[in-house]
Amino acid sequence: MAYGPDLLIVNANVLTMDPDRPAASAVAVAGGRVVGVYDGRPDVTAAEVIDLRGLTLIPGFHDAHNHMIGFGLALTEVDLRGASLDEIYARVAATAAGVPEGEWVIGSGYVQTPDGVHPDRDALDAIAPAHRVWLKHTSSHMCVVNSLVLRDLGLDAAAPAVDGGRVAADAAGRPTGLLEERAQELVGRLTRPYPLSTLTDAVDAAGRRYRAEGITSVTEAGVGGGWIGQSPVELAAYVAAREQGRLAVRVELMVVSDVFHPLGAHPADGIETGIDLGLRTGFGDDWLRLGPMKIFTDGSLVGRTAAMSAPFAGDPGNSGYLQADADQLTEAIVEAHRAGWRVAAHAIGDRAIDLALDAFADAADQHPRPRPRHRIEHFAAARPDQVARAAKLGVIAVGQGRFASELGDGMLAAVGPSRASWLYRQRSLLDAGLVLPGSSDRPVASGAPLLGIHDMVNRRTSSGAPFNAGEAITAAEALRAYTWGSAYASKQERVKGSIAPGMLADFAVLSEDPTVVDPTRIAGLEVVGTVIDGHPQLG
């Protein structure tokens, strides 16, 4: 008997993302790889045949920047998204009523009022005096705690200076409970590290949600340390999930720069700092691999902590700040490049973007290396000259489509009309010849890729205002970003991101073709199922 494919998918509207053959109607799979792409019904037999009856088949979505464990943990936290101050307090009170005194009440996703008012310690003390309350801002760049937590931290009465962050205080110098940027690490010391079993459960919960949304690959944007890492042994949670059959999607892990340390390698190796054993970008396999070093250069736009070259609108004294000394940040980027890492520099404000681009240029001059594919995460407020420079250096800008509707009004207010055209560029990046990935920064924003693609095309804020509409792209371009573009940003486009012989058999099945429906309907399309590693999971 001749060797045949395990799986044959027929009667499909296949959008391959392969420029040599953009459309097809059937796909054959064997051993977890695509072995044939066909027009019409192929003369092939397979162990399993799936007739899609005209549904659309695409490469599985790849979220190029998300926080998988953070999202998995947030699934168990009080949901504060879209809540007013009164609603926030009501939800905290209701949760505290069911939790023993002294335990934590953790909420996530809140936004300050339009006048800039955050929840405050005194109001939280009034409703939950005997609990430890910790409310995370939707940006992940700040949080609010109550007096019990401030007391644990020795911050009850006075606000010390914190490098790269701030303990906010009232006019009399008494902390208000708001902790910005690196000051959040103080709370992390009380709650972290989480035990591996908790983190493995979070990987499992997040992955199952991702699969249901058509996602087959994610890049996790920072593990191991800093204010964003959940445990120094976080990688082991992913390994455990995989061993237990609970890793639902393929994962590339960024490693937070805070855990880099001198290694004592031979001077000829050019590896001064890194992580133990010389592990670096590229180590791993198609399911679990090490991605870039993640380094934070600045903060958030909505929270007005991003490093700008001129002050925020209506806020003349505030141009934000860098998260560390500029020379130290530059040196960390150049050293990581030299040691063979891809680098993902979080840079939101144009001053931070300058720093990252300068560092990538220095790295290329001092230690030439072919196609390092360094990235700037967010690239949120970028001047026109910075687009041209990123293109010249081959630096990939990793934006978040869904921010338009969920955070767009706050971002427009932060930069003002004169800089609105700098925000979350797409069109100008493609026009400059750059590859555009797709990502969500979940749990900062909703992570379903069809929501992201909807916003990449429609570019409207939640109030209905246009969000830098000149940077809108077509649905076909957005779909390509969320599949092939993200694979490219992970240097994985030779194995995934398109449907062609030899590629991993990772697909999503959509109820309709996003490239032909009315663009305002994209968010409402359904994900009917996924295939990963050749294994179908159809609803």
**Nearest-CA neighbor of 447 among 296, 249, 187?**
249
Residue 161 CB partners (closer than 8 Å, separation 6+): none
State the Cα–Cα distance between residues 527 and 538, nearest whole angstrom: 9
Q: How far is the CB of 67 from Zn ion (least distance, A)?
A: 6
How many of the other CB atoms lie within 10 Å of CB of 345? Answer: 30
Task: Verify binding: residue 441, Zn ion, rule CB under 5 A.
Answer: yes
CB 278 within 8 A of CB 266: no
**Nearest-CA neighbor of 381 among 320, 440, 331?**
320
Task: Verify binding: residue 220, Zn ion, rule CB under 5 A.
Answer: no
The piece of 99-107, 127-135, 217-225, 450-458 that touches Zn ion (CB under 5 A) is: 217-225
Q: How far is the CB of 294 from Zn ion (least distance, A)?
A: 9
Task: Verify binding: residue 256, Zn ion, rule CB under 5 A.
Answer: no
Q: Which of the residues 445 through 464 are near Zn ion (CB under 5 A)? A: none
Q: Which is nearer to Zn ion, 221 or 420 (CB)?
A: 221
Q: Which of the residues 462 through 521 are near Zn ion (CB under 5 A)? A: none
Task: Verify binding: residue 221, Zn ion, rule CB under 5 A.
Answer: yes
Q: Which is nearer to Zn ion, 5 or 299 (CB)?
A: 299
Q: Which is nearer to Zn ion, 214 or 443 (CB)?
A: 443
CA 130 to centroid of chain Cα atoms: 35
Could you tell me what percentage of the chain is helix, strand and coil, using 3-state DSSP and rounding each to the nearest 5?
30, 25, 45
Is cis: bond before 100, omega within 30 of 0?
Answer: no
Q: How far is the CB of 420 from Zn ion (least distance, A)?
A: 23
Q: Which is nearer to Zn ion, 89 or 238 (CB)?
A: 238
How many of the other CB atoms lie within 10 Å of CB of 31? Answer: 10
Q: Which is nearer to Zn ion, 447 or 534 (CB)?
A: 447
Q: How far is the CB of 441 from Zn ion (least distance, A)?
A: 4
Q: How far is the CB of 386 from Zn ion (least distance, A)?
A: 20
CB 181 within 8 A of CB 471: no
The piece of 206-214, 271-279, 333-341, 435-443 that touches Zn ion (CB under 5 A) is: 435-443
Q: How far is the CB of 188 from Zn ion (least distance, A)?
A: 16
Q: Which is nearer to Zn ion, 440 or 530 (CB)?
A: 440
Q: Which is nearer to Zn ion, 213 or 220 (CB)?
A: 220
Residue 301 CB partners (closer than 8 Å, separation 6+): 348, 349, 380, 381, 407, 410, 411, 414, 415
Q: Where are the alpha helices (DSSP H) in 195-234?
A: 196-212
How many of the other CB atoms lie within 10 Å of CB of 317? Answer: 6
Q: How far is the CB of 446 from Zn ion (least distance, A)?
A: 14
Contacts with Zn ion by CB under 5 A: the residue count is 2
Site string for Zn ion, 351-390 (x = CB under 5 A): ----------------------------------------
Q: Which is nearer to Zn ion, 25 or 305 (CB)?
A: 305
Is cis: bond before 519, omega within 30 of 0?
Answer: no
The piece of 286-294, 303-311, 402-410, 436-444 that touches Zn ion (CB under 5 A) is: 436-444
Where does this chain bind Zn ion (CB under 5 A)? Answer: 221, 441
